[in-house]
Amino acid sequence: MSTFWSAWVMFLVVLNLGITFFLFLWAPRVKIPVLPDGTTGHVWAHGALRESVRKLPTWWIGFSASMFLWGFIYLALYPGFGAFKGLLGWTSGAQLEQQVRVNDALREPILQRVRAGTVEALAGDAQVTAIGHTLFQENCAACHGSTGRGNTVLGAPNLVDDDWLYAGDGETILTSILDGRRGVMPAWGGALGREGVNQVAAYVLSLGGSEAPEDWVAAGQTHYATLCVACHGADGHGNPVLGAPNLTDDIWLYGGDFARIAETIRDGRAGEMPSLRARLGEDQARIIAAWVYAQSHAAAGNPPVDSSMDSPDGEPSSGAQPHEAG
């Protein structure tokens, strides 16, 4: 602080304290004219109210005096009187540093475990998964739902059912979080036409054992063999390298009714999981991966989440509002 501003602040402090002190001494002594009925003679609200004269209560005077005194003590101990640093040498920066050190000391043992252990091992560490759960709510719930059961509008998969687009081991889950994923399902509406799309959709339904018109299924199978096997496999079990889902297990990214499947085939899909490396860093990503692993592999530790909290079709629950980035 420059000398000028320091002097200016000192001047303001002295002025304010001076005015306060003056009022404090002057107010109790000031003579208010009192009429014989004990009022000042001021009449308010057309005669309904008359202004009485009362002494300041003693407790109020005592309280004000002690506050006044405290003002001096404060200015002596802490920064406030211009550039004077206060006798205690307190600064907000030093206090922050001190609190950060305390916090780091609390975090350190947990972070050491996080850095040393595999995701699978961390999934059994209740302290780590509790933090992971909170971080999941903050960073993932907007898309995957507050209990991790996914969202068929965004194509964000259920993360707690131990069914995976990529794979369910700790390292693969961690890679999904750090680097993101993008599943690309091409659009076939142009190549197949409306009828062809219906046929192959019927065939996809039949793969999971659902009822579908037989002639559509037969024609659909031919289309499937030429257009779809490359990614979804001859038996429809998918391909974890491409993130092409298993079409036979009745678990659906985008919904498993005929209309949704036909829509997927006609228009294609490109579900995108953003890369969260920059936002989370390695440590936090490992902590969240441990929570996801624990939820999806119940044997690893925590019991699975309460499935009654998200609606069954995977719509985002009320807890899954989009979260501000940052």
Binding residues for ligand HEC, rule: CB under 6 A, are 139-140, 142-144, 154-157, 159, 164-166, 173, 176-177, 181-186, 188, 200, 204, 223-224, 227-228, 230-232, 242-245, 247, 252-254, 261, 264-265, 269-274, 276, 288, 292
The answer to whether the annotation marks 231 as part of a ligand binding site is yes
Residue 228 is labelled as binding a ligand:
yes
The answer to whether 185 is a known ligand-binding residue is yes
Q: Using alpha carbons only, give the angle 262, 268, 274 rounded to the nearest 5 degrees.
A: 130
Query: In the complex with ligand HEC, which residue's Cβ is closer, 272 or 315?
Result: 272
**Which CB, 82 or 174, lies closer to ligand HEC?**
174
| Residue 144 annotated in ligand binding | yes
140 labeled binding residue: yes
Distance CA(265)–CA(280), nearest Å, equals: 35
Taken as a whole, the chain contains a residue count of 326
Closer to ligand HEC by CB, 13 or 187: give it.
187
**Which whole-number Å values give the CA distances from 183 to 48, 164, 229, 278, in the listed order?**
80, 13, 16, 21
Cα–Cα distance for residue pair 164/175, rounded to 1 Å: 13
CA 197, CA 34: separation in Å to the nearest integer?
A: 98
| E strand or H helix that includes residue 14 | helix 3-26
> Is residue 49 exposed (0-12), middle (13-18) or buried (19+ Cβ within 10 Å)?
exposed
Least distance to ligand HEC from the beta carbon of 64, Å? Answer: 55
Question: What is the closest distance, in whole angstroms, from the C-beta atom of residue 116 to ligand HEC in the complex?
Answer: 21
Q: Report the C-alpha gap between 214 and 257 in whole angstroms.
A: 17
Q: How far is the CB of 122 from ligand HEC (least distance, A)?
A: 14
> CB 251 → ligand HEC: shortest distance, Å?
7
219 or 253, CB closer to ligand HEC? 253
- Of residues 79 and 169, the one with the C-beta less far from ligand HEC: 169
Strand duo 181-185 + 49-52: pairing: unpaired
Which residue numbers belong to the known binding site?
140, 143-144, 185, 228, 231-232, 273
Which residue numbers belong to the known binding site for heme c?
140, 143-144, 185, 228, 231-232, 273
